[in-house]
Amino acid sequence: SKSATVVSQTGNPQPRVHHDENEMASYNSEGLPNQGIDYYLAEDNIDEIMKSNEKKPYIVSLSGKTLSDNIEMLQRIVKLKPTARSKIAGIELNLACPNIVGKPTLAYDMDQLNDVLARVAKEMEIHYKPSSSTKMPVFGVKLPPYLDMIQLESVANIINKYEGSLISYITAINTFGNSLPIDVTVEQPFISANSGLAGMSGRATHATACANVWKFRKSLKPSIDIVGVGGVETGDDVIRLVLAGAKAVQVGTRHWKEGPACFERIAKETREWLSQHGYTSISQVYNQLKPWSKERANQARMLRKEAKQNQAANGESSDQVQSNEASLWKLISAILLVIVAILCADKGLLPSE
């Protein structure tokens, strides 16, 4: 679902999204436009959303303005009819946005993060006990990008305390906050809201997403899964995140630009990569990133060189085919002109000297 708040909101004024012309990054300052949590929990709405593919998981994302808002939305999930709640595969609590005015992004502040998870656990752990009669969707948290691996390890240590009792997965990474895309043609930001400051997503974030997934996989307890997010545009991008330790991969910006067709294309490219490399299942490459070696680096250079040579050869072959086709059409045209001239002469249609 869209990241939900307690009540619906329209978000920031337009324009609030900008895509770089070079396709490397996108920026948004949407302000969490959404229909409100009750819309995303309504059984009829869930059925409508899921009707195209009932096998896909439906995950409810919570992004309350305050901790109390998030607790309120969690309690509403608890109070759902069992039939409605059973259609929700997972809950994602967004810790990657500011929660308290004047405070840092929640998951960058270890004290805030400790307090929030302790409060959520106090309210919800009873419902996640095996003995509970309330069958709850799996619970996870969405995290911002970390550029400091010591900070990331601190976050992982906090999350590990709730393994088995609350947290089943994390989503890494959210957008890079406070980017400022500027339009130099008119000397102003591309985005009107928040003085032009926006979250950056897209291709430029991919390597950092891989690094965060890789480090979290090494730092989290094995039972806590990772959903990898950031700059996924191709099957190769999926493979990178899975190699780094992602159990699932999320596509955001590419879907924004390309639409739902991107999912099947990326899945097809992923299957092709697996087949070309001798794998029968994506689980075979999960968390299998190899350490750098000179031998593999040399092998990669040779493979890229061969690929370029084949591409060049195919290009020359294509040019030759086009050249041959052009010559053939010239010959056919010349023959047709001769035939027309003969017919005209035979009929006396050509002018006499």
Q: Which residues are catalytic?
A: 97
State the pairing for strand pair 138-143/90-94.
parallel
How far is CA 135 from each of CA 1, 4, 38, 126, rounded to the nearest angstrom?
20, 21, 19, 11
The token pair at 78 is 């608890």
C-alpha–C-alpha distance, residues 299 and 164, integer Å: 42
Q: Which residues contact residue 174 at a Cβ distance below 8 angstroms, ignoring those fewer than 6 apart?
A: 94, 96, 97, 142, 143, 144, 145, 199, 229
C-alpha–C-alpha distance, residues 152 and 212, integer Å: 8
Instruction: Tell me if 34 sits within 8 A of 2, measured CB to CB.
Output: yes
C-alpha–C-alpha distance, residues 219 and 288, integer Å: 16
Rounded to 10 degrees, the C-alpha dihedral 193/198/203/205 comes to -170
The token pair at 261 is 């067709």
Instruction: Tell me if 67 sits within 8 A of 95, measured CB to CB.
Output: no
What does the DSSP 8-state code read for residue 204? G
Residue listed under structure tokens 């689980």: 283
C-alpha–C-alpha distance, residues 67 and 121, integer Å: 12
Residue listed under structure tokens 């948004």: 28
C-alpha–C-alpha distance, residues 128 and 277, integer Å: 41
What does the DSSP 8-state code read for residue 66? S
Residue 303 burial by CB count (10 A; 0-12/13-18/19+): exposed, middle or buried?
exposed
Residue 85: alpha-carbon gap to chain centroid: 26
The token pair at 297 is 């680096």
